[in-house]
Amino acid sequence: MSRPKTVVFSFLGSVLDSGAGARRWDRWRPNVALCRHPELLIDELELVYQKRYQKLADQIVADIAGVSPETTVRLHQVEFRNAWDFEEVYTTLLDFSRRCVFTPEEQQYLVHITTGTHVAQICLFLLTEARYFPAKLIQTSPPGGHQPGEAGGYTIIDLDLSKYDKLASRFLQEKSESLSFLKHGIETRNVAFNALIEKIEYVAVNSKAPLLLMGPTGAGKSQLARRIYELKKSRRQMDGPFVEVNCATIRGDAAMSALFGHTKGAFTGAISARPGLLRAADKGVLFLDEIGELGNDEQAMLLRALEEKRFLPVGADNEAQSDFQLLAGTNRNLSIQGDPRTFREDLLARINLWTFHLPALKDRPEDVEPNLDYELQQFARLNGKQITFNREAREAFLAFATSRSAVWKRNFRDLNACLTRMATLAGGARISIELVHAEVANLISSWESTPEEPQQSELGRYLSLSETKALDLFDRVQLAAVLAVCERSDNISQAGRELFAVSRKSKSVANDADRLRKYLAKFNLAWAAIKTD
């Protein structure tokens, strides 16, 4: 089998490649030396030069013909008004690369980055990394000492970094550290949750688009949002601050003023101007928790601020500007129609590019234990007192905490509160079985005496409060079970097969997907609304 041709792209070195008379052979000239390596047969050298160096280019062509007659040199004239102007050099070389015809299946390409200005070398590197040149890089170096006639050395660099074991290992380490950082260093065991965090990490460091974090109250949306910001800041992706506001705490004019600012005298009591949270978050992150509680006017203003980076403060004649990344949190389904708090579709479309559903603690029983240890560590850090369980107490608490009886209505807030209570009451820095029994009774009592709000239940993600109240208990229980199957299924047919596993056997045509679709339609639900991500 014949070897593929080797084609090299290189700049003419106006200084390094120069030389006159017989003594030029005493100098190391990169483009001539490149063609003198016996183990590196170069079939074609595509030499880029400027017109004013035509004589030198002709000399290099002749010299290469003398030392490597099997190498064909093709000259390509390009012109720069300023060879140190990055924009001009890059666009000129980009245009050149687009004129070239590449056949990687027949030829192997190298880009020589030893000659040319530093700007030209950087541009060649970037164009090769972006695959405008489907090539590897080659770097040449002169021989040690004064050795006339020696070719020197060379190094071939493949920009497919996955082929370098040490780099690949380092990237994996960096990724692992980022994932651990987003999880507060907690070694979570839930496979689905770990996959979710991995996806969030990738999106966070590769996108400036809005992120929507959905999940029940206490699932950790605020903590995750701050961690995302700290991760991006550690990567030097932003210089501004992290600005957080719970939208449920601001209403009406106060919401407009808090978010977008106001001028002095804009309304009664406005004795001084206020910049607003959007401007405060410039170059940073704005986290709007419970974004679904924003009023319609605030939603409209926010949409424009996201799209145009401009908005009008209350009472102002001139627009303000702010370039921020939006993170939003909510514990309800923003796409529900008919809810008096209906969210604007155009804003939802803008912030729904990256939507992540954080699961409830009760859906991650295998993660209770590592979070238990984390909470004890936090207690020790805050109180300067190390607390542990005795063996019997730890086993008893974990048995309850991972059982069906532990509904964890307020999720990690419940876990933090119960651990804080037990740690505070622990005599001799040890949590006893008696403390565990008392705390279990306390938790069960609090969950029974505080009915779960419908918008925080399984149905709350899909039905409004009024819609939920209009259903019989039978329908609520049945629909919740159906939705749970839908959420864990990859498609509607798979969900239908599980839900109708028995009755489908008696049907000549088991159209499970259609049966499920009609069932959901009874509650004005569609499959697409359930599997939004």
Any idea what the CATH number is for the domain that residue 399 is in? 1.10.8.60
- The first and second tokens of residue 517, run together, are 């679709």
Same domain (yes/no): 398, 334: no
- The first and second tokens of residue 495, run together, are 């969900």
Predicted confidence at residue 123, as pLDDT, reads: 94
Alpha helices, DSSP H, located in 71-217: 86-99, 118-129, 165-182, 191-206
Same domain (yes/no): 215, 348: yes
Predicted confidence at residue 427, as pLDDT, reads: 84
Same domain (yes/no): 268, 331: yes
DSSP letter string, 396-433: HHHHHHTSTT---TTTHHHHHHHHHHHHHH-GGGEE-H
Same domain (yes/no): 271, 187: yes
Among residues 273, 352, 360, the alpha carbon closest in space to that of 320 is found at 273
Instruction: Please list the residues that pair with 286 across neighbouring strands.
Output: 243, 326
Same domain (yes/no): 199, 343: yes
The angle at the Cα of 290, spanning 324 to 351, to the nearest 5 degrees, equals: 45
Q: Is 453 within a domain?
A: no
Q: Is 461 within a domain?
A: no
- The first and second tokens of residue 423, run together, are 């740690």
Query: Which residue stretches of the chain have pLDDT < 70?
Result: 1, 145-149, 161-176, 253, 336-341, 449-458, 460-461, 464-466, 531-533
Same domain (yes/no): 84, 173: no
Same domain (yes/no): 222, 321: yes
Q: Which sign, positive or negative, has the C-alpha torsion 268, 274, 275, 281?
A: negative
DSSP 465: H
Instruction: Please list the residues that pair with 155 across neighbouring strands.
Output: 139
Strands (E), 106-161: 107-112, 136-141, 153-157
Distance CA 176, CA 172 (A): 6
Among residues 262, 163, 217, the alpha carbon closest in space to that of 410 is found at 217
Distance CA 202, CA 354 (A): 11
Find the Cα–Cα–Cα–Cα dihedral 231, 236, 238, 240, rounded to 10°: 90
- Cβ atoms of residues 294 and 254 within 8 Å: no
Residue where the block lists tokens 């954080």: 358
Same domain (yes/no): 285, 343: yes
Same domain (yes/no): 144, 214: no
- The first and second tokens of residue 454, run together, are 């419908």
What residue type is 374 in one-letter code?
Y
CA 405 from chain centre, in angstroms, equals: 36
Residue-number span of the structural domain to which 129 is assigned: 5-159
Q: Is 441 within a domain?
A: no
CATH number, position 176? 3.40.50.300
Q: Is 138 within a domain?
A: yes
Same domain (yes/no): 87, 236: no
Number of structural domains (the chain) is 4
- The first and second tokens of residue 312, run together, are 């009008």
Q: Is 330 within a domain?
A: yes
Burial class (CB in 10 A: 0-12, 13-18, 19+), 10: buried
- The first and second tokens of residue 209, run together, are 């688009």
Per-residue pLDDT reduced to its tens digit, 79-132: 999 989 999 999 999 999 999 999 988 899 999 999 999 999 999 999 998 889
Predicted confidence at residue 166, as pLDDT, reads: 62
Predicted confidence at residue 337, as pLDDT, reads: 52
Residue where the block lists tokens 């410039």: 282
Q: Is 454 within a domain?
A: no
Among residues 128, 180, 119, the alpha carbon closest in space to that of 156 is found at 128
Predicted confidence at residue 431, as pLDDT, reads: 94
The angle at the Cα of 19, spanning 13 to 25, to the nearest 5 degrees, equals: 110
Same domain (yes/no): 313, 388: no
Same domain (yes/no): 200, 323: yes
Three-state DSSP class for residue 311: strand
- Pairing, β 285-289 against β 5-11: unpaired
Distance CA 55, CA 151 (A): 23
Q: Is 100 within a domain?
A: yes
Q: Is 465 within a domain?
A: no
